[in-house]
Structure 1
Amino acid sequence: MGGNILYTYSVECLVDRILSPCRRYTRFGIGPFESGHAMTVANNLRRGLLDGIPGWSVTAIRLKGARHEFSALSGVRESALEVLINLREGVLTGPPPLRENQKFTGMLTALGPGQITLGQIKFPEGITPVNPDHHVANLASTGKLDIIIQFEFTSKAKDPFVPTISSEDQSSFITVDPMAFPVKRVSYSIRMEPHPVTQAEVEYVFLEILTDNSIHPQRALVMASQYIIDLMWPIGGRRLRLGYKT
């Protein structure tokens, strides 16, 4: 099967639905492709979406009065471990940093009684919580919560993860593994249909993406495409040294 017209394909957003503050479902239709090419494109896009999309993630937390994650906090219903888990599950959004491995901090000092939510934490300008009502802790009338959060822009592709904590802070901060990767699930299906012009059998990819709503799915799709291009560039750009046996 030939003809450049088959490679002039389009990307169309068929469904875009916010299911909850941290769940956004989008379905794209991509095509047409020559027979056999749709699977290659879909597999690579899926891998790029799951591995190559960075996001803001909590990497270290300092709780005043907590020597370790199993400490009890005076006047706080939750243990230090429960507060850590609640903070780790918060979803942040904002533009990427200007420098790689740049760390940022958010701060909170609160007095009881009352509930503490993610939206009460003071973040740097441009960084906002997607789920500001997300529960962090409950304080009694005598309770006080003093928190410093370190968060960084990271992705699954950056492995292994090493938090950038200075030596003087290592004893006071509790490090946590990053988990806020924007793309949560990707699936696809392939359908064959006649080409609208040539009537030849061509393939269409229907790509379904579930994100945490910290990034627009269309932006994630563009970034995944660029991730695959960058991954293959050493081959396509002919920067590899090819060795030949004589």
Structure 2
Amino acid sequence: SLPGAAVTSIRVTDVPHEFSAIPGVREDMMQFILHVKQLRMQLVNTDIARMRLEVQGAGPVTAADIQVPPEVEIINPDLYLFTVDADDAYLEIELMAETGRGYSPAEDRGRLPIGELPVDAIFSPIRRVAYEVEKTRVGQIADYDRTVMEIWTDGTIKPEDALAQAAQILTQ
């Protein structure tokens, strides 16, 4: 499995648990968490980063509104997170991102500070891989095989780079 980055915990002011409503927000906490799981990012020269989201007033909120430290790059800034319905709403949200491999369930986070909610993390930058083995010929010899691969990623890595990293892992 290739390394990647994902949000591993969320803290929303005045929201004690994941089954709560977020004051002034159309979506509940569970819907917000589902949207955050789709957030794709790269962490450069660090394994952990804290991001902030401060929202004032009504309107849609996207990943582009997240304040990130210099070592974090959000790949899908147009990702919809939630809509604030109340004009007088003010929200403070902290997102903790970490690097890892594969999938890490929220239960693996252990004890977190009160108010910090664990999130299932999908670290893998690979979404899907398909391959096909075809017969091919080289010169007069026709009994060679050729492998054709299709690699879909989440945008944090190029398919060619993913294949190169996977090949390097296999040869080690």
Instruction: Provide the TM-score with structure 2 as the length reference.
Output: 0.89
Q: In the alignment, residue 125 of structure 1 is paired with which amino acid?
A: P
- The 1:227/1:129 distance shift into structure 2, 3 A limit, reads same
Structure of higher CA gyration radius: 1
- Residue 149 of structure 1: which of 95, 104, 110 is its match? 95
CA contact (8 A) 1:63 1:80 kept: no
Structure 2 counterpart of 1:216: 158
Structure 2 SS opposite 1:61: strand
Q: State whether residues 103 and 124 of structure 2, in contact with CA within 8 Å, keep that contact through their aligned partners in structure 1.
A: no
Partners of 2:102 and 2:156 lie apart in 1 by 16
Paired residue for 2:132? Answer: 189
Measure, in 1, the Cα distance between the counterparts of 2:171 and 2:122.
25
Deviations 1:73-126 (A, max 9, x none): 2111111111111112111124353xxxx3211001110111111011011213
**2-side partners of 1:195 and 1:229: how far apart?**
26
Quick one: which of 179, 183, 188 aligns to 2:122? 179
Provide closer, same or farther for how the CA distance between residues 122 and 189 of structure 1 changes in structure 2, counting only shifts above 3 A. Answer: same
Higher strand proportion (structure 1 or 2): 2
The one-character-per-residue Cα deviations of 1:1-27 (angstroms, maximum 9, x if unpaired) are: xxxxxxxxxxxxxxxxxxxxxxxxxxx
Percent identity between the two aligned chains: 26
Task: Give me the CA root mean square deviation.
Answer: 2.2
1:89–1:180 CA contact under 8 A, matched in 2: no
The Cα shift of 1:170 comes to 2.5
Q: CA shift at 1:61, angstroms?
A: 0.5
| Over 4 Å off, 4+ runs | 157-161
CA apart distance, 1:199: 2.4
**Hey, what does 2:69 align to over in structure 1?**
124
What TM-score, normalized to structure 1? 0.64
Matching of residue 76 in structure 1 with residue 25 in structure 2: yes
Segment of structure 1 superposing worse, 121-130 or 216-225: 121-130
- Take 1:64 and 1:160, find their aligned partners in 2: how far apart are those partners? 20
May I ask how many residue pairs the two structures share in their alignment? Answer: 171
Structure 1 portions without partners, runs of 5+:
1-51, 231-246
Residues 80 and 160 of structure 1, relative CA distance in 2, 3 Å threshold: closer
